[in-house]
Chain A
Amino acid sequence: MIRPILHRVAQALLVALMVGVLTFALMRSLPGDMAWRVAAGRYGYDITDAAVMEQVRQSLALDQPAALALLSWFGDLLRLDLGVSLISELPVVDEIAHQLGASVTLALTALLLSVLLGPPLGVLAGLRPGGGLDRALFALSITLRALPQFVIGLLLIYGLAIVFGLLPASGHGEAGHVVLPALTLAIGLAAVSCRVARDATVAVTTSGYYRFGETKGLRPLDNFLRHGLRNIAVPIVTYLGVQLVYLIEGVVVVETLFAWPGIGHALVHAILARDVPMIQGTALVMGLMFVLLNAGVDVMCGALDPRRRTS
């Protein structure tokens, strides 16, 4: 159990390192005098003078050689001092604290919906391979996988919000608002997880131990619950780890599409505004969310499959 945890801790450090180096490069690549740009962004163009500029230069270590500045940059990062947003002038940590809840709600709702949609259908299809449901699901899954997330989102908005008026097209605040963005992400995830579930079901039901369960006289339902379910669940949960990339990438696009006030939305806005501390903070938190969700999948895999715990 120690090795996977160490692996994820190393991954978290790598995320911090990559985001740190890239945003540092971004900081250094701003055209003109960085101290002036930052000072003007922070205090306004009118009251920015040489003294304020010098103060910013000192505090951000802009007068030091790049290597030293990078080190002090990481010092700040380690103390979780993410700086102050150049636009709102609020500490980045406070801004992100607002948005993190919205993003986590969206991501977890999407995961839950995808687990409710994909695997049950996949298992049903896998119990009768080659049947009507199997073929229909295969065609649907191929089609859905050719649709980028923003297209799925647009189609859902058009269908459910505009034509039928069932759900709000965008916004945040009421429970109904989370449905469309979460469903957009969930449909993309379920299109893949139902195939994984289908293949796993076929593999399990044609295996020797499953046949033996039938032969010794277990009723089909008992056999499925005792010998099938857990073995089918293992590859599905393992594959969730691969799908997390899709989920996190989708959060950026879907939040922007549905005006969902989460971290992905904030990241895109920070990039448009060149708000370096916000870019760093949001990218870092999204990366760490990815690592944390991965760790969650590891724990679930271990809980489902005792063979992993011993090896």
Chain B
Amino acid sequence: MIRLSRGQWAGVALLLLLALFALGVPQVVPGDPTRQSLSNALLPPGGPFLFGTDPFGRDMLLRLAAAVRLSLGIALLTTALAGVIGVALGVLAGACGGWVDRALCGVADTLLALPGLLLVLLLVAIAPGRFWPLYLGVSLVLWVEYFRMTRAAALRIAASPAVEASRLLGFGPFYRFRRHYWPELAPITLTVGAFGSATSVMSVAALGFVNVGVRPPTPELGQMMIELMPYYNEAPLILAQPILVVVLLVLALNLIAGGKTQ
């Protein structure tokens, strides 16, 4: 159904490697990523701690793995939620037309009136340090893109003779969705989903970076950067780790989405 290009396969491989790292590390190296040990502060990579330690003597290997789990978990949850809602409403708007279409487009336009990160920031302000505003905010931002792309495709598909024939033959809406809509929507959903996951990873990191995201001591990539930034001179290799991981995550997701301009 979906044929992946070479670049997309590279993205999938990179993402799998990162997921393996995130899930595998706690199995191999048991320990607590939030456990401090001040006598072991800022150890360089190698030695007893493979990736070194941060200024509080916390194991960077465990912290990075936990942070990648958090980032990917939030990305997966928000894109899945936004995808299901966005695709369902997009098909509904495209296939029904009329006032349903106008109402749903109105909702989408309302959300687009404000830049996404502002909306997430306002929600985070309501309940700082909690997870639900993050999930809700990022999903609210992401579903609009699914909705707009799916709606545009659904409008075209709904007008096709194949769908009309299906309807006249008496097939129900679910059959029509599975047989006519989904095969064309699947590649769009994949692209939008991968872009959306990248947006989610970057938003969560950006919030952590400006200190309003996930609360410490939970390891989070953006927050790790801001914590390590003052030590750029003593421990550049430690500071480079969370930066590299964010870049690899976003790169993998962008590759899956496809190298073209949106």
Interface of A toward B, CB cutoff 8 Å: 11, 14-15, 17-19, 22-23, 25-26, 29, 138, 142-143, 145-151, 154, 158, 162, 192, 195-196, 199, 242, 244-245, 248-249, 252-253, 256-257, 267-268, 271-272, 274, 279, 283, 286-287, 290-291
Tell me, in angstroms, the Cα distance from A138 to B259 when the chains sit together.
9
- Most chain A CB inside 10 Å of its own CB: which residue of B116, B122, B250: B122
The contact of A283 among B113, B118, B127, B128, by CB within 8 Å, is B118
Does B210 touch A at the CB level, under 8 Å? Answer: yes
| B interface residues with partner A (beta carbon < 8 Å) | 109-110, 113-119, 121-128, 202, 205-206, 209-212, 222, 225, 229, 232, 243, 246-247, 250-251, 254, 259, 261-262
Whether the pair A196, B225 counts as a contact (CB closer than 8 A) is: no
Task: Show 30 residue pairs from A and B whose CB-CB distance is below 8 angstroms, ordered by the A residue.
Answer: A11-B113, A14-B110, A18-B110, A18-B113, A18-B114, A22-B119, A26-B122, A142-B254, A145-B254, A148-B202, A148-B250, A150-B209, A150-B225, A151-B246, A154-B225, A244-B115, A245-B116, A248-B117, A249-B115, A249-B116, A249-B117, A249-B118, A252-B117, A268-B211, A271-B121, A283-B122, A286-B115, A287-B114, A287-B118, A290-B114
Determine if A22 and B261 form an interchain contact, defined as CB atoms under 8 angstroms apart. Answer: no
A249-B222 Cα distance, complex, nearest whole Å: 15
C-alpha spacing A149/B250, complex, angstroms: 12
**The residue from A145, A151, A252, A271 contacting B128, defined by CB atoms under 8 A apart:** A271
Residue in A149, A192, A248, A274 whose CB lies within 8 Å of B115: A248
Q: How far does the alpha carbon of A143 sit from the alpha carbon of B222 in the complex, in Å?
A: 19
Q: Which residues of chain A have C-beta atoms less than 8 A from B212's C-beta?
A: 268, 271-272
- Contact A291/B113 with A148-B202, A248-B118, A249-B118 known, Cβ cut-off 8 Å: yes
By a CB distance below 8 angstroms, the chain B residues around A291 are 113
Residue of B nearest to A139 (CB): B259
Q: What's the Cα separation between A248 and B115 when bound, in Å?
A: 7
What CA separation (Å) do A242 and B123 show in the bound complex?
A: 23
| Contact A23:B122 (CB < 8 A) given known A154-B243, A272-B211, A290-B114 | yes
Query: In the assembled complex, which residues on chain B have CB atoms less than 8 Å from the CB atom of A22?
Result: 119, 122-123, 126
Q: Is the CB of B247 within 8 A of A146?
A: yes
Q: Is the CB of A29 within 8 A of B114?
A: no
Residues of chain B contacted by A151 (CB below 8 angstroms): 225, 243, 246-247
Given contacts A149-B206, A253-B206, whether A154 and B121 have CB atoms under 8 Å apart is no
Q: Contact between A154 and B229 (Cβ–Cβ < 8 Å)?
A: yes
Task: Tell me the bound Cα distance from A150 to B243 in angstroms.
Answer: 9
A219 to chain B, nearest CB (A): 31
**CA A11 to CA B246, docked complex, whole Å:** 34
CB distance from A169 to the nearest CB of B (A): 10
A158 x B202 contact (CB < 8 A):
no
Q: Which residue of B lies closest to A199 (CB)?
A: B261
A274 CA to B122 CA, complexed, in Å: 11
What 10 A-B pairs come out closest when comparing CB atoms? A146-B251, A249-B117, A14-B113, A248-B115, A22-B122, A256-B210, A271-B125, A146-B250, A195-B261, A148-B202
Residues of A within 8 A of B127 (CB): 29
Q: Are A271 and B124 in contact (CB-based, < 8 A)?
A: yes
Q: Give Cα A145–Cα B253 distance, bound, in whole angstroms.
A: 11
Q: A150-B205, A287-B113 are in contact. List 6 more A-B contacts (CB 8 A).
A: A11-B113, A14-B110, A143-B251, A146-B251, A148-B247, A268-B211
Once the chains bind, are A287 and B232 in contact (CB under 8 Å)?
no
The interface residues of chain B lying within 8 Å CB-to-CB of A242 are 262
Kindly identify which residue among A11, A26, A143, A252 contacts B210, using a CB–CB cutoff of 8 Å: A252
How long is the Cα–Cα vector from A146 to B117 in the complex, in angstroms?
18
* CB closest residue in chain A, given B229: A154
- Which residues of chain B are near A253, meaning CB under 8 Å? 206, 209-210
Name the residue on B nearest A193 (C-beta). Answer: B261
Rounded to whole angstroms, the CA-CA distance of A248 and B118 in the bound complex is: 9
Give chain B residues whose Cβ lies under 8 Å from the Cβ of A11. 109, 113
Q: Which residues of B sit under 8 angstroms from A146, Cβ to Cβ?
A: 247, 250-251, 254
- Which of chain A's residues has its CB closest to B203's CB? A249
Please give, as numbers and ranges, the residues of chain B lying within 8 Å of A272 by CB-CB distance: 128, 211-212
> With the chains together, A25 CA to B251 CA distance in Å?
37
Inter-chain contact B246/A252, CB cutoff 8 Å? no
Across the interface, which residues of B come within 8 angstroms of A150, CB to CB?
205-206, 209, 222, 225
List chain A residues, Cβ under 8 A from B261. Answer: 192, 195-196, 199
In contact, A158 and B232 (Cβ under 8 angstroms): yes
A192 to B259, CA, bound (A): 12
| Distance of B105 from chain A, by nearest CB (Å) | 13
Contact check: which of B115, B124, B126, B209 meets A29 at CB < 8 Å? Answer: B126
Question: Chain B residues near A147 (CB, 8 Å)?
Answer: 247, 250
Q: How far is the CB of B257 from chain A (nearest CB, A)?
A: 10
Give the docked Cα–Cα distance between A267 and B206 (Å): 14
Which chain B residues lie closer than 8 Å to A142 at the CB level?
251, 254, 259
A271 to B225, CA, bound (A): 20
- Tell me the bound Cα distance from A154 to B222 in angstroms: 12
